[in-house]
Every structure is written in C-alpha cells, then in structure tokens.
Amino acid sequence: MSKAEELLALLEKAEQDEQGLPPVHKWNPERRDDIDMRIASDGTWYYQGSPIERHRMVKLFSTILLREGDDYFLVTPVEKLRIQVDDVPFVATEVETVSGDGPDKLVFTTNVDAHVVAGARHPLRVETDAESGEPRPYVHVRDNLEALIARTVFYRLVEQARREEQGDGARLVIDSDGETFELGRL
C-alpha cells in the first residue's frame, strides 16, 4: 500500500471512528456511583491505583466515556460511574498530513487508536501555562472530550506551521481541513 493510500485509509478510519461509538449521551441509567478509576495526564488509565495493562480494555472504556461539566463518567445502559481525569482523557500520539482533493488535513491518532481530522468539528487549541510559559495543545475528539497533543507531535506541527503577521505582532498558525489554528504568539 502506498503512502497516499495509507493516508486516505486514515481519513476513512476517522469518519468510521465517530460513527461507530455507543450512544452514551442518550443513556440515563438509574444506578450511579463513583469508581476508583483515574486517567493520568499522560493517558494512562488506572484502576484502584494500578495501571490497566490491557490496551483493548482501555479502548473499550474510552468508547463509553462521557463528560458532563467537569465530571467524567463511564456510562452503560444500566450504570453511570464517575471517574477521575487529571487533565483530558486522551493523548494525540501521532499526526499525519493528508493532501489530495481539497485542503490539506491533519489526521491525529490518539492513544486509544481513534483518528481525528482537525477542522471546524475538531478544532485545535493551545493554552499557555501562566508560570512556565509552556504550551499545552489540545485537539477536540468528540462531544466535549479532548486529547492533549503529545510534545513530539506538537513540535511537528510547529515545524509545519507558518508565520502570520498581525497588527499587534506575529503568530504561528497551521491549517487543516480549511480552518486556521493558532499555535502561539511570536
């Protein structure tokens, strides 16, 4: 399979990922509880203080994840379990630029093997830590769930970005699927 075919397959996979998820937002189970499960800021899932080693299990849990306000839940038709999330539940571990018909697209792969095309439906945002000045970049995954963009992935984005002059200075921007996203001020 050529590189172009691989990238087109990524785009198709991203569309399928969104369509094949359980309708957790429609479920309203009576049983509600807290569970000793936590997602660390590096994307590691823990149960009762121990990391969950089975990737397939983490992927399954990620499909029934729901956020309401600042709270995160694992939801099934019969129960809704509150879990702890240190930052956001996912980490974008890879990015590929897909060129072809229409605008270039940035396709992100998360730590749970989901694929997301940055654009109007999946915007990028960058927060800056007030104390350290370090950027914390995110991409919207689904509903109101986000992925932290891994540092190495962010560096790749910065390398591909362009400088855009503005009246009050310059900024670093990158385009995906017809949208322009600011990565930082210069």
Q: How many CA atoms lie within 13 A of 40 on its CB side?
A: 10
pLDDT(150) > 80: yes
pLDDT score at 20 = 73
- pLDDT for 59-118, tens place per residue? 999 999 999 999 999 999 999 999 999 999 999 999 999 887 789 999 999 999 999 999
- Say if residues 33 and 79 touch (Cβ distance below 8 Å): yes
Tell which residue, 76, 72, 74, 66, has the closest CA to residue 85: 72
State the pLDDT confidence band at 13, using cuts at 50, 70 and 90.
Answer: low
- Say if residues 160 and 102 touch (Cβ distance below 8 Å): no
State the pLDDT confidence band at 185, using cuts at 50, 70 and 90.
Answer: confident
This prediction has a pTM of 0.88
